[in-house]
Every structure is written in structure tokens, then in C-alpha cells.
Homo-oligomer: A and B are copies of this chain.
Amino acid sequence: MPSPSPLALPFPDLPPIAGVRLAVARAGYKAWDRADLTLVRLDAGTAAAGVTTKSRCPSPEVEWVRRALPLGHARALVVNAGNANAFTGARGRDAVEAIAARVAGAIGGLPSDVFVASTGVIGVPLPIDRAEAGLDAALAAPEASWREATDAIGTTDTFAKAASTRAVINGRTVTLVGIIKGSGMIAPDMATMLGFLFTDAGVAPGLLQRMLDRANAETFSCITVDGDTSTSDTVLAFATGTAGNAALGHEDEPGADAFQAALTDLCRQLAHLVVRDGEGATKFIEVAVTGATTAGSAHRVAMSIANSPLVKTAIAGEDANWGRVVMAVGKAGEPAERDLLSIRFGHTVVAREGRVVDGYDEAPVTAHLQGDRVEVGVDLGLGDGRATVWTCDLTHGYISINADYRS
């Protein structure tokens, strides 16, 4: 691994999840000395849900997952690191099918019960022989730890990213654990964001999917490093039901709200970790937009700010350049009235009703910008729509990682 991001957090202690068995192996997708294949076996009856990239050119793994998700059940997950298998034509599809068939044959169940995700170089079909040898090794391997699995799914990540939380459903405590990889929406070798959530809660597949969609909408869909989108981004959630709660089937049932809150919290923790590993990041940035005509409009304005190279470089330079925020609001194409616009950095309002505040003192703003967590607030003064998104700054480090490099 390269040296850790300055925004890295330590790897947390994570509890086991009954019904989830981890194994890792070295398939050798690249010439490296590390585990690069992860096999997660899931107890029969595990519910599955997922969200995948919106890319119009997805990997065959993404297509496979999209076909499997409506069935709602999973018996295993295979994650390959070092080869994304994207843009590989029919041979890429064959590799995914071969993996699913081999795992289903070994552990029982149908190939459609086996979820597959891959990350790494693109344009090179995943070598089926290496995948199969890796799978055989993983099937025979001792149980791995969360840390080992998190390391094995990583590629250009600079630190291992995982989180956990708990909820109480009808008196039963359920546990949720998530592991994630990604640093940049996409990185030198297509460093896709892949996230995997595991819980011992009993949740019906349809409800789990709706809850994951909701959690995703306010977490993973609200982060950006460089505005680029991988062909392979995937987040999957698996609920084994081993905690013994009466399985949740609908949002109205007792405990559903608590589980939704815990799931969203877990996703937010993981999403923030990805931003903290953003390529070249030195500052974690929260952009909060209020006063928009709708929540969707607020989200688009916030993303316009969070994706603006000029806003991101200004924050990297600790420069209270609120003019660039005005620019990013203006270019979003959403309803905005210059003469109603207010902007703050941290708690300091710098502009109100379309002009800089009287007696504007830059000192507290500069102090805020010198920290490693920066808040940009924009009030559009039009309505009740609000949204918050997270990003990182744009630095020489990003250029070094992405330009001073040959594939």
C-alpha cells in the first residue's frame, strides 16, 4: 500500500456476524504477494440487496449482479482485486459465469445465488484458471478476519476501510458490519468503489432493497472525489437472519425504523471513509445546501460545488474564495437568485443576499480552512429543499496519482 491518506482513520474492532464466513486466497491477478480473492459464504436463507453503478458501460459482474438481485437471495460473494474484467466482451462474461458455477457446485445452491464483484485493470478478461484456482484455495482456507477480507478487496486504497453499528429490533440486538474499497470514484486501475454490508438481522429481501436504496440515496450517492463514475461500482447488503428476530417485512413494523437508521449510519460511515481516501485528499469537505426549491435541486447544486475543480483547489489552498462557490451555484442550472444567495465557511457567513457581508473578516474563515474538515454552506433563499454531500480537495497529489503514472 502507498502511504496512508492524511485523513485515514484506524481500522475498527468489528464483531463477527453469525452466518457469514470469510476466506481469502491469492489468485494472482497481478504480480503481487497478497490475497486478491475474497470468498464470503452466507448461510442458506440470507437475503440480498444491492445498488450498482449508473454507468451505461458496466462490467459483466455488474450485469450479473443486476440479474441476480431480483431473486433476493445469496449464498456467497466473490470479490476479485487486480482485474476489473470490464470491457472484455464475451470472455469477461464467461469468467463471471465460471466463478458462479464453481462456487455453487462447491457449497450448494444455484449460480444465481453467487454474487461477484471485480476491481482492477480493465480491458483484460479475468483469467478463469486463476480465478478457479483461487476459489479452490479459498474454499479450503481457514476463516479470515474482517481485516484480512478488507485488505484483500483493496487495490489503490491507502488504508483499510470498515465500520459497524447495531440496532435493536423487537428486543433483539442486531449487528451490522460493512467493508469497502475505493479511493477516487475511479482510480489508476479503475479503482471502483465496492462496498459489502453484512447483518445478522432477519429482513425480507424486498424491504432490504428498499432500505438500501434509501440509505444509498443519502450516503454513497452524496459523495464524490472527482465526479468520475466507475463501470463497476457496487454496494451489496446481505442479511443472514441469524440474530433470531422475527424477519422484518415492511417499513411499518416495529424495529424497521431502527434498522433503517443503523443501515444508513453504516453506509454514511463507509461513504465518508471513501472520501477520506480520495486520491490526493488533504481535507474532508462537507457541502450543505439549504433553501432550494426541492431536495433534488439542492443535491444538484451541492454536487456542482463539490465537483468544481476551482472550489476544490481553492480549499486545497486554504483560500476563502467564495466567488468560486457563487460560480458553482450559477453553473448548476438549478433555480437560483443571485440576490438571495448566502454563503458560509464553517460558521462564518461571508456573503448574504448577493453580496459580501459588511465588515467581512476573513480571519475566522481562514482558520476554519486550515483545518482538515471544511464545511461550505449555501442558502439559496428560495424554498425548503436541502441536501448535504461530501467530497475532498483537489491537490497536486491527485495529479501525481493520475498523471504521473503509465498504465
Of A33-41, A150-158, A200-208, A324-332, the one touching chain B: A324-332
Q: Are B327's CB and A55's CB within 8 A?
A: yes
Q: Check A322 for interface membership: any CB of B closer than 8 A.
A: yes
Q: Are A310's CB and B351's CB within 8 A?
A: no
Q: Are A356's CB and B87's CB within 8 A?
A: yes
Interface size on A (CB < 8 Å)? 72
Within 8 A of B (CB), among A370-407: 393-396, 398-400, 402-407
Q: Are A87's CB and B331's CB within 8 A?
A: no
A89-B354 in contact given A54-B333, A309-B226 (Cβ < 8 Å): yes
Within 8 A of B (CB), among A332-367: 332-339, 341, 351, 353-356
Q: Are A186's CB and B56's CB within 8 A?
A: no
Contact of A231 among B122, B184, B330 (CB under 8 A): B330
Contact of A310 among B186, B328, B337, B339 (CB under 8 A): B186
Residue on B nearest A399 in the bound complex, by CB: B396
Q: How many copies of this chain?
A: 2
Interface residues of A (CB under 8 A from B): 53-58, 86-89, 91-92, 121-123, 184, 186, 190, 226-231, 307-310, 313-314, 316-324, 326-339, 341, 351, 353-356, 393-396, 398-400, 402-407
27 A-B residue contacts at CB 8 Å? A54-B331, A56-B331, A56-B332, A57-B326, A57-B329, A87-B338, A87-B354, A92-B355, A123-B322, A123-B355, A227-B307, A228-B310, A228-B328, A229-B331, A231-B326, A231-B327, A231-B330, A309-B309, A309-B398, A313-B403, A317-B402, A319-B403, A319-B405, A319-B406, A319-B407, A323-B407, A396-B400
